[in-house]
A and B are shown apart, each in its own frame.
Chain A
Amino acid sequence: MTFTPTELEVEGAAGGETAGHPAPASPPAQRRRLARAFLRDRTAVACSAYILLVILMALAAPLLVKLSGWGPYEFDQSAVDPNLGGLPLGWGGGMGAEHWFGVEPGNGRDIFARIVYGARVSMTIALAATVLTSVLGVVFGLIAGYFGGRVDMLISRVMEFLMAFPALIFMIAVLSALPADNRQFLLVVVISVFGWPYLARIVRGQTMSLKEREFVESARASGASSLQIIFKEILPNLASTIIVMTTLAVPGYVGTEAGLSFLGVGVVPPTPSWGQMIASSVPWYAVDPAYFLIPGTFLFLLVLSFTVLGDRIKKLVESGEGRA
């Protein structure tokens, strides 16, 4: 995850900010049609289902843990074999009726519980980062695109600066230097600071082309203020682009948080995080592959679901606009 370009950057760089994007225009009837087309797309529905599952897991974590019988911080030494250095007893890293997903080597913590609580971390941070990035990206993109001139120059320079920055190294360095409290909040902030330019760039491009259109001119002629124009005329037309971009960005955030946790600067142990579990699994992967496979699979599927979902939505929106 050395910040290989996500779809966001690729879309932005490939041929100008507006190339390859649905031409902004979305009356409510069209949105209903899109919604229905979405429900008919089995893949998109399947992805949404998995995402909802993870969200539910996260929300219902305490309840699920009561059902499974083991909390995420409890040690169960009886499940590991001290003679083998703490290797879990039983097949698949100790899977069975007692521990549904097995236990962690060494300390015997219940993996199911940690997965479920780890879901909380992943989803919270990813969604919070998404919200923050979207707000920043849309606001700055709109302002830069609409007002142009010096304002645009300033914002664009800031964006360039942030995008040129070796974000990963910086994030790791900053996070490792800071104290451990409010770690989740910091993660969200740090991810968002480096994430918003990519969305802003696209929004800026589209705003610039939209502001030349007739409906903006007529709004201006009828005396609307700039703010009104931005929020009432331009923003609704960007809605589909924003939705697509946002959905495509979420897997990046999930991956980033997991990556940072993997490197040890994410959420602080003993709070479980899928990335951090994978990091802990590294010394054991040869003898207890389940320990990395389980969180790895959950993580992979989550990122995949968001990616495929974003892809599907993008196709739907583009074909919908095309037909209109």
Chain B
Amino acid sequence: MSRFLFNRLLGMIVVLFLVCLFTFVVFFVLSPDPAVQICGKNCTPEAIDQIRENLGLDQPFWTQFWTFITALFTGRTYGTGANAVECAAPCLGYSFQTSQPVADMILQRLPVSATIAIGAAVLWLLAGVAGGLISAVREGRFADRFIAGLTLTGMSVPNYVLALALQFLLVVTLGWLPFPQAVPFGDDPVRWFANFLMPWTVLAIGSAAVYTRLTRANVIESLQENYVRTARAKGLRPGLVWRRHALRPALTPIVTIFGMDFANLLGGALITETVFGLNGIGKLAADSITKNDQPVIMGVTLLAAFLVVVGAMVVDLLYTAIDPRVRVGSVK
């Protein structure tokens, strides 16, 4: 078991390292010279050189990369003397455009992204599993086909179109909801809910559709399993047959997929946040791309990858906890 853990951990580190490297290379090659950007309008060649030296941009590629990696663990100081800038560990980079460490910027935006992610996740899990269950129980009947139609629609509508349509309908025309703003929960729970409802819905619809289909397929499949037949042959109550023998096996893959999806989402729901103007990590990424704030883009990319990789590992661990076949060794 611990060997398995160790291997996964190792794999995780390798993947993260490669993501770092890959991203670094791409930005290194593609980005316009950051020194020029930072220098600003009234630039002199000496000033540029000075900046480049401060930032370590005159170093060879591998040195820069190595500095970046070590900075993740130990922090880093840009420049010397009076203009030196501290970037505490973990240093994901420093945004010179906004004079903040990237990590701080991300942390500021985290609550909003987390709120969006968690709310949407709860919504889509509930809707997905419930919808899937109903479809499976009423397989082939009207409810099943109706829900199937809904899921196909939900999967197909692009979120920005839906976001605009919802806003047009609910905010502009009917006035039922306000324009979404990031209202902290503490201030006014009702307003908080009303504000996040649309972003949650837009984000949840696609996943709810997928999860409904997944749950339905899994439940139908598990109902065909021989052990359900055994359970029935033992004369067990239908409730017990459902809970233990049909549902429990069916939900396992869903839990694991959910782990991955949620991890993905925490990295920022870029489009949804942008459309609704909510200052989450996704919007930070979008804005930074527009402004070409390279360190921020790097930092956000790394964070998102990190979350996904960690999510994958958590999911694997969860799987060993849930599925006895994986947890314990097989036949002696």
Contacts and interface: CB of A to CB of B under 8 A. Distances in A.
A10 B210 contact: yes
B158 A2 contact: no
A214 B214 CA distance: 32
A278 interface: yes
Given A173-B301, A174-B30, A282-B275, A255 B158 contact: yes
Given A286-B172, A299-B161, A172 B289 contact: yes
Interface string B269-297: 11110110000001001100110100001
A205 to B, nearest CB: 15
A173 B152 contact: no
Contacts of B282: 2
A160 B290 CA distance: 29
Interface in B27-56: 27, 30-32
Interface in A71-124: none
Given A170-B23, A278-B161, A164 B301 contact: no
A285 B304 CA distance: 32
Nearest to B12: A164
Determine the main DSSP class of A at the interface with B.
Answer: helix
B142 to A, nearest CB: 16
A166 B160 contact: no
Contacts of B165: 292-293, 296
A20 B156 contact: no
Contact of B297 (A173, A279, A292, A303): A173
B164 A259 contact: no
B168 A1 contact: no
A169 interface: yes
Central interface residue in B172, B206, B269, by most chain A CB within 10 Å: B206
B161 A292 contact: yes
A262 B160 contact: yes
Contacts of A2: 159, 203, 264-265, 268-272, 282
Contacts of B308: 164-166
Nearest to A252: B155
A168 B267 CA distance: 11
B168 A285 contact: yes
Nearest to B302: A166
A141 interface: no
Interface string B123-165: 0000000000000000000000000000011011111110011
A174 B26 contact: yes
A169 B270 contact: yes
Interface in A286-323: 286, 289, 292-293, 296, 299-300, 303-304, 307-308, 311
Contacts of A286: 168, 172
Given A173-B297, A251-B156, A263 B164 contact: no
Given A164-B312, A303-B157, A304-B152, A282 B23 contact: no
B207 interface: yes
B18 interface: yes
A174 B292 CA distance: 11
Contacts, number: 160
Nearest to B32: A177
B158 A13 contact: no
A236 interface: no
Interface residues of B, number: 62
A92 B156 CA distance: 25
B305 interface: yes
B158 A303 contact: yes
Interface string A7-36: 100100111000110000000000000000
A262 B161 CA distance: 10
Contacts of A169: 267-268, 270, 285, 297, 300-301, 304
Interface stretch (B78-86, B97-105, B228-236, B253-261): B253-261
Contacts of B15: 160-161, 164
Contacts of A1: 158-160, 206, 271
Contacts of A6: 210
A168 B270 contact: yes
A312 to B, nearest CB: 10
Contacts of B267: 166, 169
A20 B267 CA distance: 30
A303 B156 contact: yes
A289 B168 CA distance: 8
Interface string B295-332: 00100110011001100100000000000000000000
B178 to A, nearest CB: 14
Contacts of B22: 165
B19 A161 contact: yes
Nearest to A170: B301
A281 interface: yes
A267 to B, nearest CB: 16
Contact of A20 (B203, B217, B286, B301): B217
B253 A14 contact: yes
B210 A285 contact: no
A232 B171 CA distance: 59
A185 to B, nearest CB: 16
Nearest to A307: B156
Contacts of B297: 169, 173
9 contacts: A5-B257, A14-B217, A164-B305, A173-B301, A177-B27, A177-B292, A278-B160, A285-B167, A304-B152
Interface of B: 15, 18-19, 22-23, 26-27, 30-32, 152-153, 155-161, 164-165, 167-168, 172, 203, 206-207, 210, 213-214, 217-218, 221, 253, 256-257, 260-261, 264-265, 267-272, 274-275, 282, 285-286, 289-290, 292, 297, 300-301, 304-305, 308-309, 312
Question: Which 9 pairs, one residue from A and one from B, show the smallest C-beta to C-beta distance?
Answer: A166-B304, A304-B156, A177-B30, A296-B161, A303-B156, A4-B206, A286-B172, A14-B253, A4-B207
Given A1-B206, A308-B152, 11 more contacts: A1-B160, A2-B269, A7-B210, A10-B210, A14-B217, A161-B15, A165-B305, A174-B30, A255-B158, A264-B290, A303-B156
